[in-house]
Chain A
Amino acid sequence: EVQLVESGGGLVQPGGSLRLTCAASGFTFSLYWMHWVRQVPGKGPVWVSRINSDGSSTDYADSVKGRFTISRDNAKNTLYLQMNSLRVEDTAVYFCARVGSRCSGGTCYSHWGQGTLVTVSS
């Protein structure tokens, strides 16, 4: 069974940093692109970042570019999101998501973690 388990969320002051972790199991992690998606409760999901299967290519939403860094450790089956210079507007639940094996476009998410809440507030 595919499982994605996020951790690392919490309360942080504006300008601070957090590192989110997504532990993957139940599939060959090294074969899949992985994404981070965030969602403010009551609002729609917002894409944050993606990384290719071997970690050599990354993309970011304009709103986080230069502040967030996505990475992965295929030996540990783990995805990361390093978040620096956090802003109040970064407050959201952060999900890691795996691209579906049958998705032609590469941007459909067949599996999601349970999410971890990041709150940026003074």
Chain B
Amino acid sequence: QSVLTQPPSVSAAPGQKVTISCSGSSSNIGNNYVSWYQQLPGTAPKLVIYDNNKRPSGIPDRFSGSKSGTSATLGITGLQTGDEADYYCGTWDSSLSAVVFGGGTKLTVL
């Protein structure tokens, strides 16, 4: 059971928009920065959003992040087949003194 809760799967058609939620508590998301990672099969996770809503260099502006209270959201617009992957949220948990991740959301681009 992951500390952060994500939906197991989401899907949308190419060109459409999708959002992925990440729910936590005041000890993690509520008081710490959230990051999002994209993981393609057989590869390491790749950072797509950090500090709640910032994009690393090279990540297209189709990817966005937001945070409100104890929840965070990853948004992807203009979906492409190459966006099909598992997405994970992560943050620091002040009560556990540990980095925590969500269980992951599998994005399918129909």
* B-binding residues in A (CB < 8 A): 35, 37, 43-47, 50, 59, 61-62, 95, 100, 102-110, 112-115
Contacts and interface: CB of A to CB of B under 8 A. Distances in A.
B50 A100 contact: yes
A43 B8 CA distance: 11
A47 B100 contact: yes
A45 B54 CA distance: 21
B45 A107 contact: no
A41 B88 CA distance: 14
10 contacts: A44-B88, A46-B101, A47-B99, A100-B47, A100-B50, A103-B51, A105-B51, A109-B35, A109-B45, A115-B44
B45 to A, nearest CB: 6
B37, B44, B104: residue with the most chain A Cβ atoms closer than 10 Å:
B44
B33 A43 contact: no
B102 interface: yes
Interface of B: 2, 32-33, 35, 37, 43-47, 50-51, 54, 56, 88, 90-92, 96-104
A44 B104 contact: yes
Given A44-B2, A45-B88, A108 B103 contact: no
B18 to A, nearest CB: 19
B44 A113 contact: yes
A110 B46 CA distance: 7
B103 A107 contact: no
